[in-house]
Amino acid sequence: MANSVMMVFGTRPEAIKMAPLARVLREWPEVDLHICSTGQHREMLEQVLTAFGLSVDQDLKVMTQNQTLNGLARDLLGKLDQAYEQVKPDIVLVHGDTTTSFIASLAAFHRHIPIGHVEAGLRTGNLQQPWPEEANRRLTGVIANLHFAPTTKARDNLLREGVPLEQIEVTGNTVIDALLWMREHLTQTAWHPAADSPLHALQTDQRMVLVTGHRRENFGAGFERICLALAELALRYPDVQFVYPVHLNPQVQKAVYGLLSGRGNIHLVAPQDYQHFVWLMNRAHIILTDSGGVQEEAPALGKPVLVLRKVTERPSVLEGGTVKLVGTNTERIVRETGQLLDDPEAYQRMARVFTPFGDGHASEIIAERLSRWLEETAAKRDDA
Ligand code: UD1
Ligand code: UDP
């Protein structure tokens, strides 16, 4: 009889990073895959599902406008409990560090359902940055039974916290699977944004700086400083285009549209679906971001990245010299971006392909380890 594996995700990055694994597991006859979307995100999640041709078996539709962490956690806990009651999975797979990841793990733990944690073991060591994600990831790690660590550094973090070695598999990051798959698809189909896309009008002969920013710990003063830096850069470099797909979080929308609207060379656009966004990253000269996933993807494409954070839970990216932490200080963002725009040598030093997260086969490695775990668990059950 096939084993019941339930995958739970709810936000854009979780869906992008779980999609390649879902595609692999759907092909495995010994696995009966049930995909549950919590709906922590709505439009931004639908974009991913469409881009990967992925259908979900269940949608808990929890998102509300401007949701609070506690309101979201409360709704998730209740609805996931019912979902587990209905599906009765042999194992629940969660991803990363979101409220969905942690609450899906907690609800499974309360029902004695084993948990597999994809992208486990990343740490900054600082509970305030990223907030609340550092806590979500650590708490999930405490109750997970199988830990899929993207790098040996992540594995070592888990070992230091007392996780037994036999529960950890070093896998690479599934985001590289997703990225390479999408890039191949774009190349093969010679894909370009359609005429009705705001990206269609981008001048091909001008350099482009791609920006994303949405972290909760940057809300308020942090966002203001980032936007002031972008305004200053746009003024100093009128021949450079700044493209910012603005996250749908109302706090982000208010700050970004309030401070940056109406400038000729700043293009504020809606969040882009994955194919448009991979096209944008490929086309970018430099990327400024506070995103976790973009820090992993951009070095694989050879794009210099300035990270709008003080710390990163992905220290591997810093080793290649293609990613630099610049924080949210206005003057520093302007200086560092300016240097990359003005100094070709400084630019070339950072514009190199660097891939510490594997070669695009993380999903297969995870699926194989999961399959072994399912077999071992079934054997133990039979022995008992
Ligand atoms: C969440 C994750 C964060 C991740 C980010 C990815 C937590 C605590 N945070 O943060 O780790 O980096 O997603 O994007 O889980 N909204 C929409 N439509 C959407 C998505 C969001 O309108 O498709 C708006 C809603 O008003 C929602 C708000 O954004 O209430 C915030 O969404 P939420 O998931 O709570 O937080 P994020 O800041 O997106
Ligand atoms: N992304 C996207 N469209 C956008 C911005 C980002 O598809 O307009 C992708 C990006 O390529 C990466 C993921 O979304 O794979 C990162 O998500 P986000 O920055 O929201 O979350 P984080 O990674 O910080 O948790």
Residue 187 belongs to a domain: no
> Is 14 within a domain?
yes
Range of the domain at 115: 3-173+359-383
Kindly give the number of the ligand 1 atom that is closest to the alpha carbon of 133: 11
Q: Which of 37, 70, 98 to mutate to test the pocket of ligand 1 (most atoms within 8 A of CB)?
A: 98
Domain co-membership, 68 together with 142: yes
For residue 153, the domain's CATH number is: 3.40.50.2000
Q: Of residues 119, 177, 217, 297, which has the active-site annotation?
A: 119
Q: For ligand 2, which residues put their CB under 6 angstroms from it?
A: 12-13, 16, 175, 212, 214, 245, 271-272, 274, 277, 291-294, 297
267 in catalytic set: no
Shared domain check, 228 and 141? no
**Alpha carbon of 277 to ligand 2 centroid (Å):** 8
pLDDT the model gives residue 205: 87
In a domain, 182, yes or no: no
Relative to the CA of 96, which ligand 2 atom is closest?
Answer: 25
Would 180 be classed as within a structural domain?
A: no
Residue 169 lies in a domain: yes
Q: Are residues 325 and 221 in the same domain?
A: yes
Exactly one of 42, 185, 216, 285 is catalytic; name it: 216
Catalytic residue among 133, 134, 290, 296: 133
134 and 246 housed in the same domain: no
To test the pocket of ligand 1, the residue of 16, 17, 37, 40 to mutate (highest count of ligand atoms within 8 Å of its CB) is 40
Atom of ligand 2 nearest to the CA of 245: 8
Q: Ligand 1 mean position to 215 CA, how many Å? A: 9
- pLDDT score of 222: 95
Q: How many domains does the chain have?
A: 2
Q: How remote is the CA of residue 354 from the centroid of ligand 2, in Å?
A: 19
Whether residue 161 sits in one domain with residue 110: yes
Q: Which atom of ligand 1 is nearest to the CA of 65?
A: 26
> Low-confidence residues of the chain, pLDDT below 50?
none
pLDDT at 16: 98
Catalytic residue among 12, 155, 183, 214: 214
pLDDT at residue 202, rounded to an integer: 85
For ligand 1, what atom is nearest to the CA of residue 98?
A: 15
Q: Quick check: is 185 catalytic?
A: no
Check whether residue 16 and residue 42 sit in a common domain: yes
**pLDDT value of position 2:** 87
What is the reported pLDDT for 140? 98
Taking alpha carbons only, the member of 296, 348, 363 closest to residue 323 is 296
Same structural domain, 338 and 363: no
CB 171 within 8 A of CB 17: no
Distance 368 CA to ligand 2 centre (A): 27
Asked if 169 and 212 sit in the same domain, the reply is no
Domain assignment of residue 71, yes or no: yes
- Is 179 a member of any domain? no
214 shares its domain with 65: no
Q: Would 190 be classed as within a structural domain?
A: no
Nearest-CA residue for atom 25 of ligand 1: 65
